[in-house]
Chain A
């Protein structure tokens, strides 16, 4: 019976991991930019939700849109103004650039908000849902459901809208897309901004679950890395599958081998996967 609870824990956690990672995966897959800013974007989204709740009583679930839009604007400006200048350079250059930008933004947040941990304490939490022997934490499940919904919406956006098709076209072949009349610079900026939107939205959702501090950005970034490589770069379903797989592995790993080995186990499996299937579970060759 305890296995049901462990599986439920893993799925809920996995849904959150998917939400953390999907924006990171999109930017990496399409722009070939490893966006070190991603973790800081998530934390910034959490702060938007925190201040929205503390000062205006806006439930973090509604702050998804506000946090997403704030980050969308920031992401667009950063990509159009700075990153686009070197976006075709080798990946190490863009990585170094986003690393530098991350230092600036993260330290600015440390100055503005301090490193003290804050948390959104909901006046009316959803409590726990008991299904037989399994406890499901209401707020986490709701956050996970919203995260998955956002991910599905992003998937539809990429498939059904003209801007989405343009993003996919740039991912497949940048030059051919240019020849077909796609404004690649604009698409780059929109893609980066959508990645930032997803990070901001994820941050708003996570604000009710994790303590908020600029120091958390590295933890989020680390998870996003693993999920992307597990699931395959640039693929929305890949990020979802990668997130869920990582959540389940960590959950059962903690139970069987002790919580201190959960991370070792997930990174061990990651290494194995890199040997066996370097493009990830759902990744396709040629996209990376």
Chain B
């Protein structure tokens, strides 16, 4: 009787020790997980963009885990992305990033949406020495802070302005008068200002340059004014809804030009679908497009393979934010493998030293952390589909002009 009780007790102690050792073994097990924090605007004003980033991160994490995880220093790590919704509220993005580092113990971060929130969150990644990769930040103000832990997959705004200015002037000497309409907002305004500089450098005359407020419902006054200035080239910046409205109103009010350039929107599939025949021959720029063709050493292997994986998981095509988000994951993975460690500081050095081809293009970062190896393509919509006009290496068509 006593022995039975005793053996029961011993047995329960053994079980308890066993359980305890499994639990205590928890941290050792958790070591085999790479935790990446991603504060995103999953609700609120910029939620469509936040969801795009999430799709990009997810496809990478899934691909990495499907191949057995990330190998570093003789160990294999599973990828886990920790998401929080900062509801399109930048201060909350910063708090989320900090909480992820201190509470969730993430080893790496993916940045929130846009230049503004990325800049704000970069102070946190810098403070804790956690590498942060950003797929939707291009403004110079982030990268001249001399921070060591922020990296972005978008080149500066001048790289989406200078190539098209050179291309158009080289192809047609009759294009002399340029009219510019910019959304009065951080990125659209900055990119339009870069464009203005770029066309002036090519010797073109800027005949009007106007700004419109966020939430503008009617562009007829600006378009009437542009029409009076008889431009050869019309350039408008904004987001897809602004540009759809502007293109329609240009047509309604009889504003014609040989070149119409709109950024950033026509690179999204919805644009051609919704604007219909008016999308024909619109030129635009994008940091990346499914029509580009790169071979890489990253997990996706090539643009075509990435496109196929995307089509399979989500249907349709990825845009530059979605591809850039997946690229952030692919770059992080390459850096961890190169460093042979998951220690944030070592991985940071490996990201800074990276110079590799990927499905997204060549990846190499300037000292401030901004990618400087990409050549964002110049695109033109022909038959509702984008044709790459530049760079020459991936070109799939020649620039067409609209009738005078």
Residues of A at the B interface (CB closer than 8 Å) are 2, 5-6, 9, 12-13, 107, 110, 114-119, 121, 128, 130, 135, 137, 139-140, 209-211, 213, 215-216, 218-219, 222-223, 250-255, 258-264
Residues of A within 8 A of B210 (CB): 258-260
Mark interface residues in B333-348 (1 if CB within 8 Å of A CB, else 0).
0000000000000000
Instruction: Tell me whether chain A's interface is mostly helix, strand or loop, or mixed.
Output: helix
B241 at the binding interface (Cβ < 8 Å): yes
A117 adjacent to B224 (CB under 8 Å): no
B212 adjacent to A9 (CB under 8 Å): no
Which single residue of chain A is at the shortest CB-CB distance from B217?
A219
B274 adjacent to A211 (CB under 8 Å): yes
Which single residue of chain B is at the shortest CB-CB distance from A206?
B217
A6 adjacent to B221 (CB under 8 Å): yes
Q: How far is the CB of A5 from chain B (nearest CB, A)?
A: 5
| Contact of B253 (CB < 8 Å), options: A119, A121, A137, A216 | A137
B254 adjacent to A128 (CB under 8 Å): yes
Docked complex Cα distance between A262 and B228 (Å): 19
Mark interface residues in B229-247 (1 if CB within 8 Å of A CB, else 0).
0000000000011001100
Residues of B within 8 A of A209 (CB): 248
Docked complex Cα distance between A260 and B210 (Å): 8
Q: Known interface pairs A5-B224, A260-B213. Does A117 touch B274 (Cβ–Cβ under 8 Å)?
A: yes
Residues of B within 8 A of A117 (CB): 240-241, 244, 270, 274
Please name 5 pairs of A and B residues whose Cβ atoms are closer than 8 Å in the assembled complex, sorted by A: A117-B274, A130-B254, A135-B254, A211-B245, A253-B221
Mark interface residues in B197-223 (1 if CB within 8 Å of A CB, else 0).
000000000000011110111111110
Residues of A within 8 A of B397 (CB): none
Which single residue of chain B is at the shortest CB-CB distance from A126?
B252
B244 adjacent to A211 (CB under 8 Å): yes
Docked complex Cα distance between A257 and B222 (Å): 11
A-B interface, 7 closest residue pairs, ranked by CB to CB distance from nearest: A137-B252, A254-B221, A9-B220, A119-B274, A121-B276, A259-B212, A260-B211
Docked complex Cα distance between A252 and B218 (Å): 12
A2 adjacent to B224 (CB under 8 Å): yes
Residues of A within 8 A of B220 (CB): 9, 12-13, 251
Residues of B within 8 A of A223 (CB): 217
Residues of A within 8 A of B216 (CB): 259, 262-263
Docked complex Cα distance between A121 and B215 (Å): 22
Docked complex Cα distance between A130 and B47 (Å): 41
A250 adjacent to B254 (CB under 8 Å): no
| Contact of B252 (CB < 8 Å), options: A107, A128, A219, A259 | A128
B184 at the binding interface (Cβ < 8 Å): yes
Besides A116-B270, A135-B254, A259-B222, 7 other CB < 8 A contacts? A117-B270, A118-B274, A137-B253, A219-B215, A253-B221, A254-B222, A259-B216
Chain B interface size band reads 35 or more
B45 at the binding interface (Cβ < 8 Å): yes
Docked complex Cα distance between A273 and B219 (Å): 25
B221 adjacent to A255 (CB under 8 Å): yes
Residues of A within 8 A of B228 (CB): 2
Which single residue of chain A is at the shortest CB-CB distance from B220?
A9
Q: How far is the CB of A121 from chain B (nearest CB, A)?
A: 4
Docked complex Cα distance between A252 and B221 (Å): 7
Residues of B within 8 A of A135 (CB): 252-254
Most chain B C-beta atoms within 10 Å of own C-beta, residue among A2, A211, A218, A222: A211
Residues of A within 8 A of B249 (CB): 137
Q: Known interface pairs A117-B240, A119-B244, A259-B222. Does A210 touch B217 (Cβ–Cβ under 8 Å)?
A: yes
Docked complex Cα distance between A117 and B48 (Å): 10
Docked complex Cα distance between A59 and B336 (Å): 57
B175 at the binding interface (Cβ < 8 Å): no
Residues of B within 8 A of A253 (CB): 221
B275 at the binding interface (Cβ < 8 Å): yes
Mark interface residues in B248-271 (1 if CB within 8 Å of A CB, else 0).
110111100000000000000010
B253 adjacent to A251 (CB under 8 Å): no
Residues of B within 8 A of A130 (CB): 254
Q: How far is the CB of B192 from chain A (nearest CB, A)?
A: 12
A255 adjacent to B225 (CB under 8 Å): yes
Residues of B within 8 A of A258 (CB): 210-211
Q: How far is the CB of B182 from chain A (nearest CB, A)?
A: 9
Docked complex Cα distance between A274 and B181 (Å): 33
Residues of B within 8 A of A107 (CB): 43
A210 adjacent to B245 (CB under 8 Å): yes
B217 adjacent to A6 (CB under 8 Å): no
Residues of B within 8 A of A13 (CB): 217-218, 220
Q: Known interface pairs A13-B220, A137-B253, A140-B252. Does A262 touch B270 (Cβ–Cβ under 8 Å)?
A: no
Docked complex Cα distance between A259 and B45 (Å): 23
Interface residues of B in 35-66 (CB under 8 A from A): 43, 45, 47-48
